[in-house]
Amino acid sequence: MNSSLHLLRLICVCLLLHSLSACRAGFNTAEDRIDNPDLWVFTGAGSNWVLEVEKNGDGFELTRSNRPGSSVTITLTGTYEEFTNNGFTLLTVTDQSGTSDANSEITLVRASAYAAFLSPIFPDSSDEDDEDHEITPMVAAANCGSGDASSNWIRFKHPIDRQSAANEPNEFGTLTFDISAETLTLDDRYDIDAPTQTLSSAPLGSGECDDGYIDQSNQNTHYLGVDDSALLDLFNNDDDENQRLFAMDKSNIAANTDFDSDSYGILYDGATSGDRNFPIRADCVSGTCTINRVTDVEDGRTVSQGAYTLLLTNVNSPSTGFISGQIRLNSNPTQSQNAVCMLRSSATNQDILACVAKSPNNSAEMLNIFLVR
C-alpha cells in the first residue's frame, strides 16, 4: 500500500514538473513558434536568424544558427519599444550569448505580421565584403503551405563581381514555387542596367520543405513566408559571392502614385562612407519620393544631408507588381541611376515598397530600399 502511494506521488510530481516546463517562455520547435499566438516570429538568412517578439509584452529574442534546425550559436535577448508616431521599433539588447560584439541597439521596421527589416545586428565594418553591414530582411515564420506560389523578387545581398556569369540571377525578377515537386524557379530575371530585357530562367533545384524551410543539398536555403513571401539564400563556395533575394506576392499597380504618403524604412548604399545603411523616412508625392536619413528613431527626426530622390515612373514594368524609374542624389541631381521597386499593397497588412538600384554615389555599388507605410 505504501509503495503504491509512493509511486502515485512520484507520478504526480513528474506530471507537475512536466506541466511547469511546458509553461516556460519560449518554444523548442519551429512548429511551436509558428503556432504561438503570443509571438510575432520572423526568419531570415545570414546564416539562419529567428526573431521572436512578444505581442503583449516588451521582450524579444534573436537567435542565429548555421543552418535551419541546427544548434543555436548566438542568442540576443532584451526589450523593445515601438514608436507609433513614426513606425520604428527599437530593440535594446540586454544579454548576449555566443558573442559580445552585437550592437546594443537594433532598429526594426515591421510590416505587420508579414515581414520585418533589421538594421545591422553587428557593427559596420570597413571591409566591403563583410555581410554584417547589410540590412537583414525577414519573412513571417510559416508552414510550407498547400499551393503553388508566384512572386516578385529583388536581390539585397550582392556578389562582389556582379557582372560575372557565375553570379546570375541578376538584380530582380519573378519566381514560382511548385508545391508538389518542391522546386523553386527564377522564371524571369532582369539586369538593372537593362531593366526591360528578360534573361533566361534559372531553376534552383528541389528540396524537401519542412517548417517553412527548403534546405537543399547544394547548400541553398530558402525560407517560405506567408502570402507568397520568401527569402532565398543562394550559396557560393566563395562567401563574398553569396546572394540573397527577398520575394513578395505580386500586386497590380494602378498608377505611379499608389505609394504616395509618408513611409519609413531602412536604406543600404554600398557606396556611402561611414554607415552604409540607416533608417529613413520617405515623403512620396505624385510618384516622387524624397528620402531623408532618420537620426533619432524615437522622434523620427531627419536630416537632409545625403538625401535621395526616388522617381517612380513606369508602372507594372517590366511585369506586374514592379515599378521602374530613377534614383538620384539631392545634392547632385545629375548623379542618377536606374531603380526598380516592387510594391505590395495589402488590405490586411501594411504596404511595402522594396527597391534595388545602382548607387548614385558610385555606379559600381548597389543600393537597396525597404519602405513600409
Q: pLDDT by residue for the chain (373 residues), tens digit each?
A: 444 444 444 444 334 434 333 332 333 345 556 778 999 999 999 879 999 999 999 999 999 999 888 999 999 999 999 998 899 999 999 999 999 999 999 999 999 999 999 999 998 754 444 555 679 999 999 988 778 999 999 999 988 766 555 556 589 999 999 988 888 999 999 999 999 888 889 899 888 888 888 988 778 899 999 999 999 998 775 666 789 999 999 999 999 999 999 999 999 999 988 788 899 999 999 999 999 999 999 999 898 888 999 999 999 999 999 999 999 999 999 999 999 999 999 877 799 999 999 999 999 999 999 999 9
Q: To 5 degrees, how large is the angle CA 311–CA 350–CA 156? A: 55
Q: Which residue has the cell 519609413?
A: 264
Closest of 148, 158, 167, 138 to residue 276, by C-alpha: 158
Q: Decide: 366 and 359 in contact? Cβ < 8 Å.
A: yes
- Around Cβ 41, how many Cβ atoms within 10 Å? 23
DSSP three-state, residue 48: strand
Query: How many whole angstroms separate alpha carbon 155 and alpha carbon 342?
Result: 11
Residue 363 φ/ψ, nearest 5 degrees:
-65, -10
Residue 30 φ/ψ, nearest 5 degrees:
-60, -40
Q: Decide: 198 and 189 in contact? Cβ < 8 Å.
A: yes
- Locate 117 and state its grid cell: 527589416
Residue count of the chain, please give it: 373
